[in-house]
Structure 1
Amino acid sequence: MKKKLLFVCLGNICRSPSAEAVMKKYLKLNHLESDFLCDSAGTAAYHIGERADARMRNHALKRDFQINSIARQFNPQIDFDKFDFIIGMDQQNISDIKKLVRNSDDLKKISAMTDYCTEFINYNYVPDPYYGGENGFELVLDILEDACLGLINQISR
């Protein structure tokens, strides 16, 4: 049975679609793509139907990550049932998702992206690069690469 992962940030145009793209590539490189389903969503409805931020797509492409997802909002009536892991990019995202839980099973599915880091252990969240400069997008990708590899190691055992 496939493990289903949902990555969540605020608007679903920078961090969570990047996490989805990084994870999909790493799963493919490790011949695990048939064992997993990945998606992303935002806690807010700001960018529903839009492609990921062009700056984020460009930085990801330099590392050979394809961000193809279209922004959508987290849907508690569907997503808690569909996904095994709901992974927030920062504490506000996690708090917003936790406000929507229906039961303890929903709550058990929620974690922080940085929980899976093995190198970027001094980060307890993935910083939002939207209002920052070029280095912010690179840092997001650095953290996500580390976290995705840690996540694969933890849940593919």
Structure 2
Amino acid sequence: MIKILFVCHGNICRSPMAEFVMKKMVRDLRAVIQSNTSLTAADFEIASAATSTEEIGNPVYPPARRMLASHGIDCSGKTARQMTVADYNHYDYIVLMDQNNLRNLRWILPRDIYERELDQARDVRDTHDGKVSLLMDWAGKSRDVADPWYTGDFEATWRDVNEGCKAMLQSICK
């Protein structure tokens, strides 16, 4: 089982978009990665969480929900929750949307784990041994996923999430 947790600040925009985009991609796995991998959707566990407590219990933000729906993706029933140390122990990949999320992990993870992950999250393309990474690093881009909470540009976030998820999935399925 390949377990992926996507994380953003509030778990109402970017990380749920990544969660549901990745779920769709693994359902369409062979077409997305253009490979005859033996992996199937049943081989994946995908979820999302927040670094903050601000939105706990709230549904996916309506514009994010509409963007997903416009691409045939249903996220109904998803509510925001905060990441825990148990999540860190459970998931194989903790995929963050931006540098602020990485800094905010210091309030969630034990100090020794946080410091090790901070060092290793810098570049997933090299000898990344940690669980924590930034989504756009998977696509070879050293930048944050566009944050629609501030920009209102959900299309840019959609593009970033798709690009990062596809690159991550291709890397995992090699």
- Could you tell me the TM-score, scaled by structure 2's length? 0.80
- Contact 2:8 2:98 (8 Å CA) reproduced: yes
| Aligned counterpart for 2:136 among listed residues 114, 120, 127 | 114
The TM-score with structure 1 as length reference comes to: 0.88
Equivalence for 1:131? 150
Letter in 1 for 2:171: Q
* Structure 2 residue ranges without an equivalent (≥5): 31-39, 118-129
Aligned sequence identity (%): 32
> Aligned partners of 1:131 and 1:110: how far apart in 2?
24
Whether the 8 Å contact between 1:89 and 1:113 is mirrored in structure 2 is yes
Identify the residue that residue 29 of structure 2 maps to in structure 1: 30
The reply to whether residue 153 of structure 1 matches residue 170 of structure 2 is yes
1:47 partner SS: coil
- The structure 1 residue matched to 2:80, chosen from 50, 71, 83, is 71
Q: How does 1:1-150 map to 2 (within 5 A)?
A: 2-30=1-29, 32-68=40-76, 69-76=78-85, 78-102=86-110, 103-104=112-113, 107=117, 108-117=130-139, 121=141, 124-133=143-152, 136-150=153-167
How far did 1:84 drift?
0.5
The code of the aligned residue for 2:156 comes to L
One-letter amino acid of the structure 2 residue matched with residue 126 of structure 1? V
CA contact (8 A) 2:136 2:144 kept: yes
> Which secondary structure state, in structure 1, belongs to the residue aligned with residue 149 of structure 2?
coil
Greater C-alpha radius of gyration: 2
Moved more, 104-113 or 136-145: 104-113
Alpha-carbon shift at residue 48 of structure 1 (Å): 0.8
| Cα distance, 1:150 vs structure 2 | 0.5
Give the conservation status (yes or no) of the 8 Å contact 2:51–2:108: no
Kindly report the root-mean-square deviation, in angstroms, between the aligned alpha carbons of the 2 structures.
Answer: 1.8
Across the two proteins, how many residue pairs are aligned to each other?
150
* 1:98 Cα offset (Å): 4.4
- CA apart distance, 1:99: 5.0
